[in-house]
């Protein structure tokens, strides 16, 4: 199914194009301080990305001050700061000018009033925007979809063919509700990645071409997901329906599964109308593309590897392997709880290393390969103080870590997959559970367009998990590959 090309770029204003999110926070803080209320990080949802009316009502509710007077004071404080302190965000003007040169329509979509937007438009250049939508122009403003829908109607474009650039969760919610593809560039508060949403640190490296790829990646793609189902998902009510919802939301084409509890791969594939391969009682692969070969031992034990060859719609064949490596002894526990040094940690990886090498020996050099799974080992790319041999062995075999290709900084983007539900260690000691990236999508012979971890909703922590929307104790990893273009190096 082809997707339309980029029809328009829709930009939030405060914190995205100009550094006014800070000015708005300062204005609210000034007014609140006059009422004896100091702002804290917990106040961000009622301040950042919010229109004056919302924040004024919120302040009125907690201070008892008259709503009208609060709104007027907020308008006054913010407008004064805007007049004297507008600073374009890094890369903003360059991107706007590039879009104008290439004839891509742009719109300003803001929850600020028209008077403030007009001031900003004068600074940035009105000629750079075909349309502007402010809090005065729609009945409901962000997080409702109305502002983005209004901008798309004015431009005569399809929201699904537009990229909305936002810096707050409120704005992201508005754009996603309107059906836009979202590029999030957080200013003051972090924003998590999610399917259909890309997060970048700044606009400095964003180009019209990169926006086009968000809407319509160049050429055919293959989206591969790894997912440990956690006892088949049976710890959570309605786990099969929730698993199906996750697969649909991620848009995965192929899913490598671990802890299938025997029948999960077959049941999921049957419900989706997909193809599947079951190996033993723990491993499986499901694919929307035809499976042309089944690889590895079909009677593999609980730990080990299994693979398939899939033929994509373009005729390209790709081998996809799923692995589950033994979890004992678990290095992060030995490091955090037992204080073992690097040499001892490396020595204790021999079982996992042997299991992985057995899989690596089976990989075919004649076709692109994707190797996914629960490795139960950290990566040497994340923890350089230990040269973790399992991921080193995969690297030596020519496999590249798709998540680290997309997110090279492990401090900024740790990508933890263990564990979204375990905050404290299960032994009741109250010790924090080590959080690590132990689930991987590795590849050879493909190019990475995007990679992200995925957890549906906000799971409750163990043991109160039976009603979670997320039926697993691992985060999934979802990587989108370009087909037919091998990565360099």
Span 264-297, pLDDT tens digits: 999 999 999 999 999 999 999 999 999 999 999 9
Q: To 10 degrees, the CA torsion angle through 351, 353, 355, 358?
A: -140
The secondary structure of residue 436, as a DSSP letter, is B
Residue 489 pLDDT class (50, 70, 90 cuts):
very low
Q: Which pLDDT score, from 0 to 100, does residue 218 have?
A: 61
Give the pairing type, strands 369-374 and 400-401.
unpaired
Pairing state between β 254-258 and 275-279? unpaired
| pLDDT higher than 50, residue 418 | yes
Q: How far is CA 67 from CA 58, 73, 232, 314, 471, in A?
A: 9, 10, 53, 61, 44
Considering only residues 309 and 22, tell me which one the structure prediction assigns the higher pLDDT.
309
What is the pTM assigned to this prediction?
A: 0.62
Percent of the chain with pLDDT over 70: 97
67-85 vs 52-63: helix axis angle to the nearest 10? 130
pLDDT of residue 127: 94
Q: How far apart are CA 171 and CA 50, in angstroms?
A: 9
**Which of these ranges, 87-101, 216-230, 475-489, has the smallest mean pLDDT?**
475-489
Distance CA 206, CA 400 (A): 24
308 closest CA partner among 358, 259, 256? 256
User: Could you tell me if residue 108 is left (phi over 0), alpha (psi between -120 and 50 degrees) or otherwise beta?
Assistant: beta
Contact 334, 345 (CB under 8 A): yes
Tell me, what's the pLDDT at 122?
85
Nearest to 423 by CA among 415, 434, 413, 412: 434
What is the three-class DSSP state of 225? strand
> Residues, the chain, total?
489
What are 10-60's pLDDT values in tens digits? Answer: 999 988 998 877 777 888 888 888 888 888 888 888 877 677 788 889 988
SS3 category, 418: strand
Handedness of CA 163, 157, 53, 124 (dihedral sign): positive
Pairing label, strands 162-166, 181-184: parallel
Joined tokens for residue 44: 């961000």
Split at pLDDT 50, 70, 90, the class of 129 is very high
Nearest to 237 by CA among 460, 48, 486, 485: 460
Q: Give the pLDDT confidence of 192-209 residue by residue, as tens digits.
A: 877 778 999 899 888 887
304: confidence class by pLDDT, cuts 50, 70, 90: very high
Percent of the chain surpassing pLDDT 90: 61
Q: In the numeric block, which tokens belong to residue 13?
A: 């204003």
Residue range 129-150: average pLDDT? 94
Tens of pLDDT, residue by residue over 211-230, are 888 887 667 889 999 999 99
Question: How is residue 41 annotated by DSSP?
Answer: G
What is the C-alpha to C-alpha distance for residues 142 and 178, in angstroms, rounded to an integer?
Answer: 11
Alpha-carbon distance of 122 to 128, in angstroms, equals 10
pLDDT at 77 over 90: no
Q: 185-188 contacts: CB < 8 A, separation 24 or more?
A: 185/16, 185/89, 187/15, 187/16, 187/19, 187/21, 187/22, 187/48, 187/89, 188/15, 188/21, 188/22, 188/25, 188/44, 188/48
pLDDT at 9 over 70: yes
Q: Which residues pair with 256 in a beta bridge?
A: 226, 285
361-397 tens-digit pLDDT = 999 999 999 999 999 999 999 988 999 999 999 999 9
- Active site residues per annotation: 12, 14
Average model confidence (pLDDT) across the chain: 90
Q: In the chain, what are the domains?
A: 8-18+87-215 (3.40.50.1000), 21-85 (1.10.150), 221-482 (3.60.10.10)
pLDDT at residue 391, rounded to an integer = 97
pLDDT tens digit sequence for 310-343? 999 889 999 999 999 999 999 999 999 999 999 9
**What is residue 444's predicted lDDT score, i.e. its pLDDT?**
94
Residue 2 exposed, middle or buried by CB count within 10 Å (0-12, 13-18, 19+): exposed
Following DSSP, what letter does each residue of 329-355 receive, concatenated?
S-HHHHHHTS---HHHHHHTTHHHHHH
CA–CA distances in Å: residue 352 to residues 23, 75, 83, 184? 53, 61, 61, 38
* pLDDT value at 93 more than 60: yes
Nearest CA to 370 among 252, 242, 233? 252
């Amino acid at each position: 199914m082809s997707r339309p090309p980029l029809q328009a770029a829709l930009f939030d204003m405060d914190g995205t194009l100009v550094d006014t999110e800070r000015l708005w926070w300062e204005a609210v803080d000034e007014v609140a301080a006059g009422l004896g209320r100091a702002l804290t990080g917990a106040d961000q949802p009622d301040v950042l990305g919010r229109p004056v009316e919302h924040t004024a009502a919120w302040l009125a509710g907690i201070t008892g001050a008259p709503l009208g007077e609060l709104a007027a004071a907020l308008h006054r404080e913010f407008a004064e700061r805007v007049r004297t302190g507008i600073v374009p965000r890094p890369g903003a003007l360059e991107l706007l000018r590039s879009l104008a040169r290439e004839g891509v329509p742009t719109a300003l979509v803001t929850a600020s009033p028209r008077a403030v937007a007009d001031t900003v438009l004068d600074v940035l250049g009105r000629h750079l925007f075909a349309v502007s939508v402010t809090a005065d122009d729609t009945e409901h403003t962000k997080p409702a979809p109305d502002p983005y829908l209004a901008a798309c109607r004015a431009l005569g474009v399809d929201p699904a063919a537009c990229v909305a650039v936002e810096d707050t969760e409120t704005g992201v919610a508005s754009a996603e509700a309107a059906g836009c593809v979202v590029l999030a560039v957080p200013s003051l508060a972090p924003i998590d990645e999610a399917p259909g949403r890309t997060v970048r640190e700044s606009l400095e490296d964003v180009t019209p071409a990169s926006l086009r790829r968000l809407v319509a990646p160049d050429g055919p793609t293959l989206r591969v997901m790894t997912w440990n189902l956690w006892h088949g998902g049976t710890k959570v009510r309605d786990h099969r329906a929730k698993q199906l919802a996750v697969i649909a939301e991620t848009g995965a084409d192929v899913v490598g599964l671990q802890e299938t509890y025997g029948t999960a791969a077959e049941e999921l594939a049957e419900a989706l109308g997909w193809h599947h391969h079951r190996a033993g009682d723990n491993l499986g692969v499901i694919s929307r593309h035809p499976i042309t070969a089944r690889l590895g031992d079909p009677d593999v034990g609980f730990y080990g590897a299994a693979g398939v060859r899939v033929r994509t719609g373009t005729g390209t064949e790709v081998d996809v392997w799923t692995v589950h490596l033994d979890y004992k002894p678990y290095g992060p526990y030995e490091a955090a709880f037992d204080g073992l040094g690097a040499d001892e940690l490396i020595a204790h990886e021999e079982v996992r290393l042997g299991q992985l090498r057995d899989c690596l020996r089976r990989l075919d050099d004649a076709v692109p390969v994707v190797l996914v799974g629960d490795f139960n080992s950290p990566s040497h790319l994340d923890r350089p103080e230990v040269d973790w041999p399992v991921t080193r062995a995969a690297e030596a075999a020519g496999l590249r870590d798709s998540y680290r290709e997309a997110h090279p900084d492990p401090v900024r983007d740790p990508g933890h997959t263990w564990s979204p539900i375990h905050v404290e260690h299960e032994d009741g000691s109250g010790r924090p559970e080590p959080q690590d990236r132990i689930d991987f999508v590795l590849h050879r012979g493909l190019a990475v367009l995007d990679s992200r971890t995925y957890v549906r909703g906000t799971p409750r922590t163990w043991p109160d998990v039976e009603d979670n929307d997320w039926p697993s104790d691992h985060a999934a990893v979802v990587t989108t590959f370009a087909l037919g273009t091998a990565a360099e190096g």
